[in-house]
Every structure is written in structure tokens, then in C-alpha cells.
């Protein structure tokens, strides 16, 4: 990991946006993502006591459909796939999400992956979107292009990205992002999603 390059990216960003994500231009950008609204939605839909509700699968569809971070091409495919599942597979999907969020994270991750694989939807974005909104200061949203760019630009050599999600990478990339976040000004990370936005803009710069 090239920490000097991260510090340079921080300096460049703060030179352009002195208040970080509280800079007026960044606030305007942030409004497009409706982060506060999405976090509230995640808390209403996926708090631990919500998993007994019958409309949980539909709430998962609503969350994905409302997210600006998920591709417009993936949203209808995800909706149609979830609605096509029989009750057993639908329960496996929502039960795995609960497992991932509240019990055995690795086991839940694998269970969700198995169900989404049935619909050829084993995507990093779909695997990580709910945790990223539910726990915005700890969890990460993995967007493949940004993730690959971060690994290359900041010379991370001990992590191997693969298109098919796998838990070890998820866990270790989360550790990396939270470590990187801790080494820059707090104005760059009102949430981990925003911090990833900073990293993405650094790649473009």
C-alpha cells in the first residue's frame, strides 16, 4: 500500500474542496445520492426485528431499485429474479442476509452468493449494497471499477480482486478502506460510501 500516494490524493482533494464533503460543490453532488434517505430506508427495512416481516424480499427490491450506486441494468434483473423465486429460495435469500448482518457474516455472505448465482446475479454491488447503507461508517460498497482502480493506484499488492464475490476479499478490502479512512482528514469520510467517492475522484484526477 502506497500511503504517500493517499496523502497526496488527500492534499489534492482538499486543495480543490477545502471543506471536504461539506464543500458546497460536494454537497450538491451528494444530494444526487440521497445518502441520508437511503440510510433511513435501510434502518427501517433491515433492522434486526424487521426480518420477521413477510414483505422483506420486496423491501430488498425497493432498496436496490432506489440506490444510485447500483447499475440501472442490474436493478430490473434483480427485481425480476427475486420475484421469480419460490418461497424456499426467497427465504434462503433473506435468511442469508440476516445471517450476514447479525450472526455469522461469512456464512451469510456465502448463502446470499449461492442464491444470486442461480439468477446469474452474483455481483459485488448487489452483495454489498444493503450493509453499506445499514452501517455506513463501517461497511463498504464494492463497485468493481473503483475497487480495481484503488488496488492499482495505491499499489495494494496483497489483495486479489475477482469478478465473482468472495468473502475473504470482502473482509480484507473493508479493513483496507477503514484503515485508509483513518489516515486522512475526517471531512473526506462522512460515510464509507463518500470516502470511496473521494478515492474514485482521485483515480480520475
* Overall average pLDDT of the 140-155 stretch: 95
Q: Comparing 108 with 197, which gets the higher pLDDT?
A: 108
Q: What is the pLDDT of residue 25?
A: 86
* Overall average pLDDT of the 20-34 stretch: 85
**What is the spatial distance between Cα 170 and Cα 67, in angstroms, rounded to a whole number?**
20
Say which range, 44-58, 71-85, 141-155, 166-180, has the weakest mean pLDDT. Answer: 44-58
Q: Grid coordinates standing for 99?
A: 445471517
Q: What is the pLDDT of residue 156?
A: 96
Q: What is the pTM of this model?
A: 0.92
DSSP structure string for 138-170: T-----HHHHHHHHHHTT--S----SS--HHHH
Amino acid at each position: 500500500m502506497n500511503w504517500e500516494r493517499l496523502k497526496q490524493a488527500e492534499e489534492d482533494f482538499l486543495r480543490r474542496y477545502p471543506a471536504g464533503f461539506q464543500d458546497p460543490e460536494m454537497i450538491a453532488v451528494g444530494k444526487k445520492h440521497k445518502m441520508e434517505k437511503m440510510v433511513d430506508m435501510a434502518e427501517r427495512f433491515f433492522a434486526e426485528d424487521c426480518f420477521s416481516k413477510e414483505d422483506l424480499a420486496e423491501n430488498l427490491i425497493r432498496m436496490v431499485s432506489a440506490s444510485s450506486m447500483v447499475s440501472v441494468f442490474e436493478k430490473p434483473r434483480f427485481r425480476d429474479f427475486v420475484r421469480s423465486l419460490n418461497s424456499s429460495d426467497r427465504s434462503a435469500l433473506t435468511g442469508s442476509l440476516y445471517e450476514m448482518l447479525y450472526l455469522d457474516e461469512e456464512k451469510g455472505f456465502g448463502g446470499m452468493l449461492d442464491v444470486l448465482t442461480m439468477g446469474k446475479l452474483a455481483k459485488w454491488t448487489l452483495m454489498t449494497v444493503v450493509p453499506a447503507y445499514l452501517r455506513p461508517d463501517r461497511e463498504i460498497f464494492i463497485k468493481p471499477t473503483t475497487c480495481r482502480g484503488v488496488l492499482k493506484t495505491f499499489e495494494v499488492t496483497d489483495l486479489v480482486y475477482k469478478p465473482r464475490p468472495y468473502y475473504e476479499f470482502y473482509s480484507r478490502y473493508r479493513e483496507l478502506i477503514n484503515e485508509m479512512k483513518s489516515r486522512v482528514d475526517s471531512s473526506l469520510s462522512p460515510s464509507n460510501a463518500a470516502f470511496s467517492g473521494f478515492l474514485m475522484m482521485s483515480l480520475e484526477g
